[in-house]
């Protein structure tokens, strides 16, 4: 576990009095992107047609959706574009640059591991240390494949069982680069399971009955880029023209390019040149199919406080809609019981159209080809908050967000063990 050295303490002391925002906890954190004239607006009563126009327009960065309201990061110039489209918007944050600077201030003081965010290399070392410490119940795979820029994508398996062909639960994290809380909460859940195995009857019983699989980084290149260049970068780092990056959560081979994504490389929801065109998507899809039998899977995101189930590409109910809804509702109840945070449980299409998402792919025939008689229950879980901080959630929110996810994860796994979805 990382500690603050004497030198780092002196540097932080000087930074505090000099007000130098460049003196951040991480030696390599050096944001180059300036958000100058950008603001976040909240637009009300947005129709599906207007949403489609916003989601595919370059320069429009959707942050949050609730019913018919949408929060969008835009330049002042694009605020006028929204008005010309007949969309009524009010200013939610009048300076994105100041919002990011405040977040950077929150990074300046080093705390315990789960009281701060960490870089890719440090997180990899942390998982390696956990694997070495808990050798009886952890199997660590250094790489399930390389990212576009050649970074490793590790996998962490946790179980107390030695039985062959044990049922599995699959979690993948950090698919969108800027959503730092998603990776942090995944780490919190891993740590909780390991620390409580053998000490907590419920955790011990669960881990003796199921194997958890965690993919800490689906988008390691994008995450590294949020530390070095652009804190609000979303996509992977595919080099392209005229713009870089593919939205990995629109790149899965499940009704790819059938709404809620864009063919414009400059869009935040650019779906790539074809289904699974990206190495990160290929790696996770291949690894998922190689691990049978997976009863349930969650793709972790932020923000909005949502539990989304299939489908995102059609308004038709999934064949197992009743069971999927009951699981999502049960998770919401257990989250609320911890800190009183309400998470909406709904179908993905109820929020906005999406296609090529990990959630729908987990549930698809494509993903479950090697899953025996079972179908994986696929979900997207959008963590805190609902707009106050957005993607810039302060590090003091990591622990409470992790605490409220633990009972939801326990419920998710236990419910699927008792009543798995059959094909």
**For 372-388, how does the pLDDT look when each residue is reduced to its tens digit (9 = 90+)?**
999 999 999 999 999 99
pLDDT of residue 28: 53
Q: Which of 93-107, 170-184, 286-300 has the lowest mean pLDDT?
A: 93-107
CB 188 within 8 A of CB 250: no
pLDDT of residue 18: 42
Q: Which of 27-36, 51-60, 302-311, 314-323 has the lowest mean pLDDT?
A: 27-36
Residue 56 has pLDDT above 90, yes or no: no
Domains contained in the chain, CATH given: 38-101 (3.30.70.340), 113-418 (3.40.630.10)
Residue 6 has pLDDT above 60, yes or no: no
Catalytic residue IDs: 382
- The owner of tokens 């880029």 is 225
Provide the percentage of residues in the chain whose pLDDT is more than 90: 80
Q: Where are the alpha helices (DSSP H) in 340-371?
A: 348-351, 358-363
The pTM (predicted TM-score) of the whole model is 0.92
pLDDT in tens, 328-350: 999 999 999 999 999 999 999 98
The two beta strands, 138-141 and 69-75, are unpaired
Per DSSP, the three-state class of 414 is helix
Cα–Cα dist 219/216, whole Å:
9
Q: Partners of 270 in the beta sheet?
A: 262
Q: Is the preceding omega at residue 327 within 30 degrees of 0, hence cis?
A: no
pLDDT in tens, 396-412: 999 999 999 999 999 99
Residue 227 has pLDDT above 60, yes or no: yes
pLDDT of residue 64: 87
Q: Which residues of 390-403 are buried (b: 16+ CB within 10 A; e: fewer)?
A: bbbbbbebbbebbe
Cα–Cα dist 52/262, whole Å:
9
Average pLDDT in the chain? 91
- DSSP conformational letter for 61: E
């Amino acid at each position: 576990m990382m500690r603050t050295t004497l030198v780092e303490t002196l540097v932080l002391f000087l930074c505090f009095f000099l007000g130098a925002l460049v003196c951040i906890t991480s030696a390599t954190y050096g944001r180059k992107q300036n958000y100058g004239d950008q603001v976040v607006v909240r637009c009300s009563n947005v129709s599906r047609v207007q949403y489609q126009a916003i989601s595919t327009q370059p320069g429009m960065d959707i942050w949050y959706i609730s019913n018919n309201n949408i929060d969008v990061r835009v330049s002042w110039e694009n605020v006028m574009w929204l008005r010309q489209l007949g969309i009524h918007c009010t200013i939610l944050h009048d300076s994105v640059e100041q919002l990011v600077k405040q977040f950077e201030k929150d990074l300046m003081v080093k705390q315990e591991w789960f009281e701060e965010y960490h870089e890719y290399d440090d997180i990899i070392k942390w998982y390696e240390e956990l694997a070495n410490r808990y050798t009886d119940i952890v199997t660590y795979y250094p790489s399930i494949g390389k990212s576009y820029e050649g970074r490793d994508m590790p996998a962490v398996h946790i179980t107390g069982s030695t039985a062959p062909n044990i049922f599995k639960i699959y979690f993948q994290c950090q698919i969108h680069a800027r959503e730092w809380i998603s990776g942090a909460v995944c780490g919190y859940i891993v740590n909780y399971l390991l620390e409580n195995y053998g000490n907590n009857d419920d955790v011990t019983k669960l881990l003796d009955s199921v194997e958890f699989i965690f993919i800490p980084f689906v988008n390691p290149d994008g995450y590294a880029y949020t530390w070095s260049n652009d804190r609000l970068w979303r996509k992977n780092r595919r080099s392209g023209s005229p713009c870089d990056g593919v939205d990995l959560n629109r790149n899965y081979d499940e009704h790819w390019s059938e709404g809620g994504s864009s063919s414009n490389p400059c869009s935040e929801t650019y779906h790539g040149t074809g289904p699974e065109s990206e190495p990160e998507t290929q790696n996770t899809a291949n690894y998922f199919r190689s691990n049978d039998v997976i009863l349930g899977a969650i793709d972790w995101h932020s923000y909005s406080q949502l539990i989304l189930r299939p489908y995102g590409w059609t308004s038709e109910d999934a064949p197992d809609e009743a069971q999927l809804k009951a699981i999502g509702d049960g998770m919401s109840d257990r989250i609320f019981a911890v800190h009183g945070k309400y998470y909406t449980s709904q179908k993905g299409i109820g929020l906005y159209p999406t296609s090529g998402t990990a959630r729908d792919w987990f549930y698809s025939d494509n993903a479950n080809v090697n899953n025996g008689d079972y179908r994986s229950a696929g979900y997207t879980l959008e963590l805190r908050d609902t707009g106050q901080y957005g993607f810039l959630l302060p590090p003091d929110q990591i622990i409470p967000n992790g605490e409220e996810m633990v009972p939801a994860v326990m419920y998710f796994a236990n419910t699927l063990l008792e009543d798995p979805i059959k094909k």
